[in-house]
Structure 1
Amino acid sequence: MRISEPTSGHLYLPPLQHSRRTIGRRSFDFSRQIAVMAIVNRTPDSFFDEGRTFALDAAVEAAMDAARAGADWVDIGGVKFAPGPELPADDEVARVLPVVQAVAQSSDVVISVDTFRHEVAEACIEAGAAVVNDTTGLHDPDVARVVADSDATLVITHSLAQPRTPFPHPHYDDVVAEVTTFLRRRVDRAVELGVPIERIVIDPGHDLNKSTRQTLELTRRFAEIAEIGLPALAAVSNKDFIGETLDRDKPDRLAGSLAAATICAMQGARIVRMHAARESVDAMRLVEAVLGWREPAYERHNI
Structure 2
Amino acid sequence: MTNSTNFICGRYQLDLAQAHVMGIVNVTPDSFSDGGRYASTELAVAHARKLVTEGAAILDIGGESTRPNATPVSLDEELSRVIPVIERLAAEVDVPLSIDTYKPAVMREAVNAGAAIINDIRALQEPGAIDAAAAGNAGICLMHMQGTPQTMQLEPHYDDVVQEVKRFLLKRLQTLQQAGIAAERIVLDPGFGFGKRTVHNIALLEALPELLSLGRPLLVGLSRKSILGQIVGSDVDQRLHASLAASVISAMKGASIVRVHDVKATVDALKVVNAVLTHG
TM-score (norm 2): 0.95
CA apart distance, 1:104:
0.4
CA contact under 8 A between 2:90 and 2:114: conserved in structure 1?
A: yes
Alpha-carbon distance between aligned partners in 1 of 2:226 and 2:152, rounded to the nearest angstrom: 15
Q: Which runs of 5+ in 1 are unaligned?
A: 1-14, 295-303
- Match of residue 267 from structure 1: 253
Matching of residue 38 in structure 1 with residue 19 in structure 2 = no
Give % identity.
38
Query: Which range moves more in the overlay, 125-134 or 140-149?
Result: 140-149
Matching of residue 228 in structure 1 with residue 205 in structure 2 = no
Alpha-carbon distance between aligned partners in 2 of 1:84 and 1:19, rounded to the nearest angstrom: 34
The counterpart of 2:15, out of the listed 8, 25, 29, is 29
CA apart distance, 1:202:
0.2
Matching of residue 58 in structure 1 with residue 16 in structure 2 = no
How many residue pairs match? The answer is 279
CA contact under 8 A between 1:26 and 1:108: conserved in structure 2?
A: no
Instruction: Assess, with a 3 A threshold, how the Cα gap between structure 1 residues 226 and 106 changes in structure 2: closer, same or farther.
Output: same
Letter of the structure 2 residue corresponding to residue 289 of structure 1: A
| 1:1-303 matched pairs, under 5 angstroms | 17-31=3-17, 33-82=18-67, 83-162=69-148, 164-292=150-278
CA apart distance, 1:214:
1.0
- Match of residue 300 from structure 1: none
CA apart distance, 1:143:
1.9
Per-residue deviation, residues 1-39 of structure 1 (Å, max 9, x unmatched): xxxxxxxxxxxxxx96332234345432222x2111000
Alpha-carbon distance between aligned partners in 1 of 2:149 and 2:228, rounded to the nearest angstrom: 23
CA apart distance, 1:87:
1.3
Query: Which range moves more in the overlay, 119-128 or 168-177?
Result: 168-177
Instruction: Assess, with a 3 A threshold, how the Cα gap between structure 1 residues 163 and 47 changes in structure 2: closer, same or farther.
Output: closer
Per-residue deviation, residues 258-288 of structure 1 (Å, max 9, x unmatched): 1111111111100000001111111112111
CA contact under 8 A between 1:136 and 1:163: conserved in structure 2?
A: no
CA apart distance, 1:193:
2.5
Alpha-carbon distance between aligned partners in 1 of 2:109 and 2:150, rounded to the nearest angstrom: 21
CA apart distance, 1:165:
4.0
Alpha-carbon distance between aligned partners in 2 of 1:276 and 1:106, rounded to the nearest angstrom: 21
Letter of the structure 2 residue corresponding to residue 186 of structure 1: R
CA contact under 8 A between 2:219 and 2:259: conserved in structure 1?
A: yes
CA contact under 8 A between 2:121 and 2:143: conserved in structure 1?
A: yes
CA contact under 8 A between 1:84 and 1:164: conserved in structure 2?
A: yes
Which one has the largest radius of gyration?
1
Alpha-carbon distance between aligned partners in 1 of 2:243 and 2:117, rounded to the nearest angstrom: 23
Per-residue deviation, residues 120-142 of structure 1 (Å, max 9, x unmatched): 00000001100000011223142
